[in-house]
Amino acid sequence: MKLTILSTAFPYRGGIAVFTERLARAFQQAGDLVKISTFSLQYPNLLFPGKSQYSSSESPNDLDIIREVNSINPFNWIRIGLKIRKQKPDALILKYWIPFLGPCLGTISRIVKGNNHTKVVVVIDNLIPHEKRFGDNLLNKYFVNSVDAFFAMSESVYNDLNHFNANKKKMLGVHPLYDNFGDAISKSEAKRVLNLDEDTNYMLFFGIIRKYKGLDTLLKAFADERLQSQNLKLIVAGEFYENDKPYLDLITKYNLSDSVVLHTNFIPDKDVVNYFCAADIIVQPYKHATQSGVTQIAYHFEKPMLVTDVGGLAEIVPHNKVGYVTSQEPLNIADAITDFYLNNRENDFISGIKEEKKKYSWEIMVLNIKKILESIH
């Protein structure tokens, strides 16, 4: 099968780029011919709150990646649509996560389908964005109506699709493991690399820091005297995508300066292994979410998780098997963390993770996408 994947990829950085490249490799391993069409301009600087959109890693030499899509130039959308239509791939696979991209991807999709050969399938992270803006529904509707089918990676997104077009073909699947960050290393080795104290226990909050991810809630929970009385620290690893002052003020207010380790630059792919392997438990106190790539990294490194009961997180973190599902209340989060350390739950959860992670396979995802393609007439 000849495929084009249109999504973020190198030289861009972040979870979606990692996902795109890993999906392309999974199709290649299945014997398919894959091209990645990525952005020449992904976000205008006005819409990008981070320090840089670009990776400092070397270009992957096993993937055919072309930078050619300008997200804000309609003339470019027409040119790219006509180019892919002429190339006649069997499938165009789109990654969709923000309504801003609806006009660009929706226009390209409509043009490509004019060859009466290429089928368009979307792997969708979010339809209703975490941070809503005026016009999101119109942009989503334009995009949803342009494609043939969807592969939704959480039940909440699957249900959201019905609000825009209930007749579109869709399949509910799971986000595969992020297994491209290398093999696990020992906890002591990871602590040594990060210059952390060998005898201290560490929790990890990982990823870009935005309001919906609930770091403020976690800091309030971490101030609980039951946690502060333990030999326990919180690692915050990831770049602030908003003003850091409210979080720093909370750290000061609750006297957490000595127990919160701030590594708030972007974490390169090569360093991810160190942060996850140094931690006892990965904490995701999100205020809303559909699913999270952080969870799939935790599964890969076999780390227990604490997530809040929002979106699709509870679907992929079975409570009391691989970790905890709690409310967003700081007290409930503190209760779970206290239970984890007081009752030595780590090894029990790791056993559950070893069993649960078997279902998160890239091979299964490729097979399911091909099933969707076969169902499109």
User: Which CATH number covers residue 44?
Assistant: 3.40.50.2000
| Residues 193 and 138 reside in one and the same domain | no
| Residues 347 and 365 reside in one and the same domain | no
With both helix axes pointing from N to C terminus, report the angle between 293-300 and 15-29 in degrees, rounded to the nearest 10: 60
pLDDT of residue 53: 66
| Residues 348 and 367 reside in one and the same domain | no
| Residues 256 and 162 reside in one and the same domain | no
Q: Which residue has the higher pLDDT, 337 or 132?
A: 337
Whether residue 95 contacts residue 6, with contact meaning beta carbons closer than 8 Å, is answered with yes
For residue 258, tell me if it sits in a domain: yes
For 201-220, what is the mean pLDDT? 94
| pLDDT score of 92 more than 90 | yes
Domain with 260, as residue range(s), is 187-359
Whether residue 37 contacts residue 112, with contact meaning beta carbons closer than 8 Å, is answered with no
| Residues 254 and 192 reside in one and the same domain | yes
| pLDDT score of 48 more than 60 | no
pLDDT of residue 49: 57
| Residues 251 and 341 reside in one and the same domain | yes
The number of domains in the chain is 2
pLDDT of residue 174: 85
Burial (0-12, 13-18, 19+ Cβ within 10 Å), 241? middle
For residue 298, tell me if it sits in a domain: yes
For residue 182, tell me if it sits in a domain: no
100-118 confidence digits (pLDDT tens): 999 999 999 999 999 999 9
pLDDT of residue 154: 83
Whether residue 260 contacts residue 222, with contact meaning beta carbons closer than 8 Å, is answered with yes
| Residues 365 and 348 reside in one and the same domain | no
pLDDT of residue 14: 83
| pLDDT score of 52 more than 70 | no
pLDDT of residue 58: 79
pLDDT band at 36 (very low <50, low <70, confident <90, very high): very high
Could you tell me what percent of the chain has a pLDDT over 70?
Answer: 95
| Residues 155 and 287 reside in one and the same domain | no
| Residues 21 and 83 reside in one and the same domain | yes
Among candidates 133, 178, 136, 134, which has minimal Cα distance to 153? 178
For residue 150, tell me if it sits in a domain: yes
| Residues 208 and 140 reside in one and the same domain | no
| Token pair for 250 | 């909370």
pLDDT of residue 341: 97
Residues 6+ apart with CB under 8 A from 87: 4
pLDDT band at 328 (very low <50, low <70, confident <90, very high): very high
For residue 165, tell me if it sits in a domain: yes
| Residues 291 and 216 reside in one and the same domain | yes
225-280 confidence digits (pLDDT tens): 999 999 999 999 999 988 999 999 999 999 999 999 999 988 988 999 999 999 99
pLDDT of residue 46: 63
When mean pLDDT is compared across 309-313, 330-334, 365-369, the lowest value belongs to 309-313
Helix (H, G, I), strand (E, B) or coil at 127: coil
Task: Return the sign of the alpha-carbon dihedral for residues 137, 142, 147, 148.
Answer: positive
| Token pair for 92 | 């165009």
pLDDT of residue 56: 65
pLDDT of residue 131: 62
Q: Best-predicted range by mean pLDDT among 175-179, 219-223, 262-266, 288-292? A: 219-223
| pLDDT score of 312 more than 80 | no
| Residues 192 and 216 reside in one and the same domain | yes
Burial (0-12, 13-18, 19+ Cβ within 10 Å), 133? exposed
| pLDDT score of 290 more than 70 | no
Could you tell me what percent of the chain has a pLDDT over 90?
Answer: 75
| pLDDT score of 156 more than 90 | no
When mean pLDDT is compared across 47-51, 67-71, 330-334, the lowest value belongs to 47-51
For residue 199, tell me if it sits in a domain: yes
| pLDDT score of 55 more than 80 | no
pLDDT of residue 2: 97
344-376 confidence digits (pLDDT tens): 999 999 999 999 998 899 999 999 999 999 999
For residue 181, tell me if it sits in a domain: no
For residue 193, tell me if it sits in a domain: yes
Residues 6+ apart with CB under 8 A from 308: 214, 284, 285, 286, 287, 325, 326, 327, 328, 333
| pLDDT score of 309 more than 70 | yes
pLDDT of residue 241: 84
